[in-house]
Chains A and B, each alone.
Chain A
Amino acid sequence: MKKIVAFGRFWWNFVVGDDWLSAAGVAIAIGATAAVAAGGVAAWWVLPVAVLLVLYVSLRRAIAA
């Protein structure tokens, strides 16, 4: 059991790192892109705007910490 937890923790740290909020923001932004695209509207602008926002929030949190 401990090995499974350690294995999971390794991959969590490797992929998500120390900022889970950015990973969550990316997931939400991709979901929003898919939703806009599914509605037949141009969706190429969603991710760039969302990434800038996520990066800004992430930097603010890092400085505050």
Chain B
Amino acid sequence: MTAGFLVLSAFLASAVEFVEALTIVLASGVARGWRSSLIGVAAATVVLAAIVAALGPALTVIPLSALRLVVGALLLVFGLQWLRKAILRASGFKALHDEHAIFATELEEARTAERLERGGIDWYGFTLSFKGVLLEGLEVAFIVLTFGSTQGSIPLAALGAAAALVLVAGIGIAVRAPLARVPENTMKFAVGVMLTTFGIFWATEGAGGHWPGSDASLLGVLAFVIASSALLVGVLRRRRAILVPA
């Protein structure tokens, strides 16, 4: 059961981040040329691989209860950030993520930026792609490492992330346009719920608490987080209807 959650969580979180990275790389490639942009993607991938290679083995030697406490706390902080934004978007208090608008803004900025070439590489295009992939990828690396190490299977978490990469990159290459039709807020909602669920579960165990029913209670925590989020969306929608009458 937890293996399925693990792969699904890593897949969804990674897919959301890869969609955002794809938008930046596409804008960079279209406006500044594909060579510099793709070199930026490759450089960021190497840095990310180095981070994973350095931190992965280090995490496996930390005692499990300490690891669960720290990872649980971090996942909870991450999960609450995702959940808060997803609830605000679902209730209308925050605008939905618009990949077309972000693409247009990035494209305009990339087109008007000064051209500075060194060694045949346009540095604006390189830096834009590099930063985009590194920052979005860092979150993926964090989720894969923490989920994987705490559940004792980094390869399984990496499998979910790799599947998301293949899917998003494949569609990106095929359509050569930002993936605006992806139900991004629904996916972010799901990721927020899963991060928060795992965060509650592991942080409690790490702090010395014991779940009734052991691993099976993960389903109960999941149901609680989903129900709480749905309740909060309902409360906020009613509040918005009062504040902003139709």
Contact = CB atoms under 8 A, between A and B. Distances in A.
Contacts of A30: 69, 72-73, 76, 203, 206-207
A26 B207 contact: no
B12 to A, nearest CB: 19
Interface string A16-31: 1101001100110011
B204 interface: yes
Chain A contact-residue range equals 20 to 34
Interface string B158-185: 0000000000000000000000000000
Interface residues of B, number: 38
A62 B211 CA distance: 32
Contacts of B228: 51-52, 55
Contact of A43 (B94, B199, B209, B229): B209
Interface stretch (B28-36, B46-54, B79-87, B122-130): B79-87
Contact of B84 (A36, A38, A42, A62): A62
Contacts of B72: 30
Given A22-B81, A33-B203, A59 B209 contact: no
A59 B88 CA distance: 7
Contact of B204 (A14, A31, A43): A43
Interface of A: 14-17, 19, 22-23, 26-27, 30-31, 33-34, 36-38, 42-44, 46-48, 51-52, 54-56, 58-59, 62-63
Given A23-B77, A30-B203, A47-B204, 11 more contacts: A22-B77, A26-B76, A43-B207, A44-B212, A51-B76, A55-B87, A58-B80, A59-B84, A62-B88, A63-B93, A63-B236
